[in-house]
Amino acid sequence: MSVAGGRLPGRRRAVPFEGHRSDVLRISLLAGGPLSSLLYVVFTDGIAASQWAGYRRTEQMVSELFAVGSPGYSVTAPFTWLYTVLFTAFGIGAWISVRGNRALRVGAGLLTAYGLWNILGAIFPLRLGDDTSIPPHIIVTNIQLALMVAAMCFVAAGFHGWMRIYSIVSLVAAAAAGIIAFIAAPGPNMVLGISERISIGAFLLWAAVLAVVLWKQPRPVQAADTGAEKS
């Protein structure tokens, strides 16, 4: 039996289905961005902090909740792995969404590396009362901060318009508040607690906004796509 035109029946209908399925995967991966940001707040200042009687959110560091030996560690320990999976998925989703835009591609790769770097944070955690745990924890944390800053810089460079401005403002806010918190450490004091949360919050919100911006793109953001760049 011959097939008119040399095309298999149903072949043309399979193309949009495949494209739809691919877009569903992309959007699902991007959802890891806002979801990881939301759950970070819920699991740290929400659940973990409530497990620690006398913990003062406005004066103490969030990192204390992740420290081995803290009352909140039973909550933050498993959450670290959940956050790693969600944020890494977000990074991969961003990578898929920005094919053809070199700056955004690098930024997405750095976001993926940032997510995976949480594994080392879990391997070298801060331990309450153990000063030997401080140096490796600081090294791991600083490298992750460098990945965060680099990712925000490349994403800012890859966009035009309001998203570039927002990325720069978020980067400045996160960096400035982080420096203030570093100076105010070890605390406890209000400058430390509030500044650290501003620094973390600026990045978490930025990641969520970036996910939404990429989510709304009808197709991968490309450098030559003027409409996409103006996002």
DSSP string, 44-93: IIIIIHHTSTT--TTTS-GGGGGSBTSTTHHHHHHHHHHHHHHHHHHHHH
Structure tokens at 97: 């969404």
The continuous run of DSSP H or E covering 211 comes out as: helix 190-215
pLDDT for position 20: 64
DSSP 8-state class, residue 223: T
pLDDT classification of 133: cutoffs 50, 70, 90: confident
**If 0-12 CB within 10 Å is exposed, 13-18 middle and 19+ buried, where does residue 83 land?**
buried
Q: How far is CA 219 from the centre of its chain?
A: 22
Is the pLDDT at 209 greater than 70? The verdict is yes
pLDDT classification of 9: cutoffs 50, 70, 90: very low
Is the pLDDT at 8 greater than 50? The verdict is no
pLDDT for position 222: 53
Structure tokens at 121: 């944070």
Lowest mean pLDDT, pick from 105-114, 128-137, 201-210:
128-137
Cβ atoms < 10 Å from Cβ of 183: 10
CB within 8 Å of 113: residues ≥ 6 apart: 91, 147
CB within 8 Å of 179: residues ≥ 6 apart: none
pLDDT for position 140: 87
Is the pLDDT at 123 greater than 60? The verdict is yes
CB within 8 Å of 87: residues ≥ 6 apart: 32, 33, 36, 111, 114, 115, 118, 207
Structure tokens at 52: 């620690």
Query: Three-state SS for 7?
Result: coil
**If 0-12 CB within 10 Å is exposed, 13-18 middle and 19+ buried, where does residue 51 land?**
middle
Q: How far is CA 187 from the centre of its chain?
A: 27
Contact 115, 87 (CB under 8 A): yes
